[in-house]
Amino acid sequence: MSDLTSLNLHRAIQGLRQGEFSCRELIQAYLERIQLLDLDLNAYLFTDPEGALKQAEAADQRLAEWRKFPQTELPPLLGIPLAVKDILCVKGMPCTCGSKILEGFVPPYHATAVERLLAAGAIILGKTNTDEFAMGSSTENSAYGVTRNPWNRERVPGGSSGGSAAAVAARLAPVALGTDTGGSVRQPASFCGVSGLKPTYGRVSRYGLVAYGSSLDVVGVFGREMQEIALIYELMAGVDPRDATTVDLPVPHIDLNQNIELSNLRIGVPKEYFLPGMQPQVEQAIREAIRHLQALGAQVEEISLPHTEYALPVYYLIAPAEASANLARYDGIRYGPRLSAATMWDIFYRTRGEKFGAEVKRRIMLGTYALSAGYYDAYYGKAQKVRTLIKQDFERAFQTVDVIAAPIAPTTAFPIGEHTDDPLAMYLEDVFTLPANLAGVPGLAFPVGFDQQGLPIGMQLMGSYFQEELLFRIAHAYQLTTDWHLRTP
């Protein structure tokens, strides 16, 4: 076949099983494409060609045996390449979290999500770039260089999972894992013209995910088509005894080949998500996508999520507060490099001062201040109360509608460096994605158009808790009747 990297996930699985090409050929095609393009894009921080090809040969042997005895069952992802955001632990691969303070750290275990996909036969190509400790909306905060958007290399890919989104968009991986604390899967999916899922909080184990905001972090996935994302989600979801926040509910098998009927579907469109100052082409594309779903039979109504305006300040009190506690462990003693100094405290100060980046320091200070004596109730305590109001907004909305359709970002991908000196402008990029994290509901991003400069525009569907399957079905119906998701840079 001419270009194996252009195959979707299910076509690649089918081709491997039918012997149209070998797993080694598939992995080699991706490695060659990474070598050709990634010096410029910087989507990957680390690749493992030798390990990936070795696993490919083992997969080919297993496939050959299966063809002789096809009654045995094969792992569902046998031989399929995967990219992993460099904030999830993969045994034997570096895990830097985009930070100099973890330079050289190699975890001795797999994250649960990674472990489950490896058990399903996946082969990890490498680790993808991220804003340092997932703190950012552009992947410009990585200590290892900026990732560029495959659609326009002078633009950001979004963040913090920009490396994974760019890798899938540029066909440097068919699917990739990311994380979403305040929009870090959905926003880069929108900017890079791919699809991305933020599951319900507690649906996918966070064991082996290096924590940023523990009550907000979720492991998500990028792909081009709904069937790809649904399969990866189904394989990695479920209760995990190593993560007490996971919920013990059965994970349904998701079959998107069934007829999808939208006639009884009620879609809510929140008026608070269409703000003055939004890029007009973004609003136009979102409204057109909603009309398309309406034409497929869905009922559309305007709804209100009245506490949306408070999501930004609430998030930037809660997430940094959790980060200040979570990042206290990086002291130059237990992980990564240690800078020498006269006393133990001087080692802490020097190592943290020189090895943390500016944005991480900013959020640690914000969070420490919010948690400090005399300010805890005024800031952190009050933010948690308002978070409850935001959560109740969603719960009330889902009593009258099945899903919520909304923009992901107010603009398309912005130029590299545009918001570097203006943290508030950068934080405003997350204004439409933060509420779903604060409420814990699932969100699914998929492409719905392009602006006049040829940059992708994404829309998100949000559902009630554990309603990922419904989101997949609606987005799949949309993708069956449009071709935005098939376009490549």
363 and 320 Cβ atoms separated by less than 8 Å:
yes
- Say whether 160 is catalytic: yes
- Say whether 464 is catalytic: no
Catalytic residue among 184, 195, 205, 464: 184
Catalytic residue among 85, 127, 198, 355: 85
- Say whether 85 is catalytic: yes
Catalytic residue among 22, 99, 138, 160: 160
Could you list the active site residues? Answer: 85, 160, 184
